[in-house]
Structures are given as structure tokens and as C-alpha cells.
Structure 1
């Protein structure tokens, strides 16, 4: 793994000098997971392809701002996620509820454990994916960022541009909605 990191560091240095071959190599290593990330958010293959390519262009032009505090893949993924959500919001302004305009009271733990009501060993991955894709857009995006992309709630709040309280509420309601769909 250390050798792979050294290799990518070397490629990134070459990219900074304008090496097309190095850029092509970096692109080939990361395009598939970045495309899949964009596709899970925008749900359109052509759109995801455009977003992914634009994200690579942005990354290559902003390589000097990459400090190496996280892996290059994580840094690039954040660019893809942010670009996907920004584009999605522009095209589908009415699809996302203006949840910042609504005040929610969030209980941290009401003691119930609805997740125990479903035997997840019986649920197939495709059923979960279909159920997630059928959720309201802000719920779908929140759960995708949380469970599939692995972001924490603070990062989701920042990415979606909503408060921490609304993020917790959105995730909680998204989970409830997902559980209802999986039960039904």
C-alpha cells in the first residue's frame, strides 16, 4: 500500500508539471469509482460521466491545493460529490425540499429500535438500492452520502448545505422512510 501511495504521489507531481501521460494514468485509476459516486447522486449515466470528467479537470487544475492530509482518492471523491450535488440542485431545484426553512426537534434516542424489526439477512442488496432510489431526493442523497460514500453527519451537513440539526433529522427520517419501504 505504501508503494501505491508513493506511486500516486509521483504521478501527481508529474501532473503538476502538465504531463498528459500522468494525468491519463491518474484518470484510469480513479475514473470508475468517481463515475459510480456521481451516478449514485445524479441517477443519469450521461450526466454522471460529464460531472466525473469536469471533476477531474477541476482536480488537475487545483492540484496545488491538495495538501496530502487525506488520500488523493478521498480528496477527488469530495470534489465529485460536491460537484454532483451542486449540479443536481441546479437542474432539480424543486426536487430538494427547502428543509432549512422548517424547524425540527430531533430526539437523539427515543429508545425504540426499529432496525431490529427487519431481518437484514433476508433483504437483498438490490432491494435496498431500489428502496433508496425511490426515496425523496434529499433522503436519497443523505443516505447515499452516509452509507455508500461513508461521510459522517458533519460532512453531510457541509455537503448538503444544511444545519447539523437538519442533517440529523433528514437522516433519521430517511432511515424511517427506508425501513417502511423495505417492510412493505
Structure 2
């Protein structure tokens, strides 16, 4: 029985040997999911397409380093997320520590997101400033924890947590105005 880590092993192994058909099959299997990851992070169709292209090129060039310690999809997703974050860094979209701001979170009760309309939440996320949008997307949608987000964005875990709480508070404010 094949384990989850070995999904598409035959295609990966053929791709490692330079089989273009196998590479194209892997591309077809993952392109839509990875495009959605890019879009959630960068928000621009053209930028997402460019990042996606670069990500697949990097993945196929570095396929020899893939050792089945995760699924191919997880490995590829990490490349896509890192490429997207690096793109945003180059565009100078800053993420700053909460200590640099005069406003701090209070212990106000939080609203239950499950009661909110999904369309409002998606629209609210789209209306967030880019730094907040990154944190919300990485944490809530992509499922990274704050330590991983800290590594990806080159910030501390506590900065990731504080940015997430500020982003969540801002998202609630936006949703309440929609």
C-alpha cells in the first residue's frame, strides 16, 4: 500500500531523470492548487502567474534534492510560498513589529468567524493591508504556525503572533462594515 509521502513517486522519479512528459504531468496535477496559493498571497493574476512559473522551474531544477520527507505537493507548496513572500519583500511591502506602533491589542471579546458569511470574509481579507493579508493567509488559509511564519517572513514568532492578532482585529472591523 502506497503511503501519502509516496504519492506520484513514479512521476517524480521520471522527472528527476529529465522526462519532460512526467514533468508536464506533475505540472498539470499541481498547477491549479499552486496558482491559488500564489493568488492568495500576492493578489495579482499576472504576478501569480510569474511566480508560479518561477516556482515550477526551481522545483524541477532542484528535484534531485526532494527526498520524500514530505509529499511532493508540500515540498512544491513551500517553494511557491517562499517565492511569493520573496516577491512581496522585493516590492517593499513591510511587516513591522508591534513595538513600532502606538496601538496595542486589548482583551476585547473576539467575534466568531463561523457566523460570518464566507464571501464577506474573503472580501475582508482582500481589503486588508498587504502585511496583514500575508499573515492571515499564511496562518488561517495555508496552515502555517507562527514559528514557520516567522522563518518565512524573517520575523520573530512573537511578531507573527502580534501581527496576526492585529490583522484579525482589522479583519473583524472590515467585515462589520460590509
User: Which TM-score applies when normalising by structure 2?
Assistant: 0.89
Answering whether residue 40 of structure 2 is matched by residue 40 of structure 1, we say yes
SS at structure 1 position matched to 2:68: coil
User: Distance in 1 between the 2:128 and 2:7 partners?
Assistant: 41
1:38, distance to aligned residue in structure 2 (A): 0.5
1:21-32 to 2 correspondence within 5 Å? 21-32=21-32
1:74-93 to 2 correspondence within 5 Å? 74-91=74-91, 93=92
1:35-184 to 2 correspondence within 5 Å? 35-91=35-91, 93=92, 95-99=93-97, 102=100, 110=107, 112-116=108-112, 120-121=114-115, 123-184=116-177
User: Which TM-score applies when normalising by structure 1?
Assistant: 0.86
Flag the 1:101–1:114 CA change in 2: closer, same or farther, 3 A. Answer: closer
The alignment covers a number of residue pairs equal to 177
User: Distance in 1 between the 2:63 and 2:99 partners?
Assistant: 37
Per-residue CA deviations over 1:45-88 (Å, capped at 9, x if unaligned) read: 11101111110110111112112111110110010011011012
Q: Is the 8 A contact 1:157 1:163 kept in 2?
A: yes
| Unpaired runs of at least 5, structure 1 | none
Q: Is the 8 A contact 1:35 1:49 kept in 2?
A: yes
Which 4+ residue blocks in structure 1 deviate beyond 4 angstroms? 3-7
RMSD: 2.5
Flag the 1:100–1:75 CA change in 2: closer, same or farther, 3 A. Answer: farther
User: Distance in 2 between the 1:100 and 1:80 partners?
Assistant: 27
| Unpaired runs of at least 5, structure 2 | none
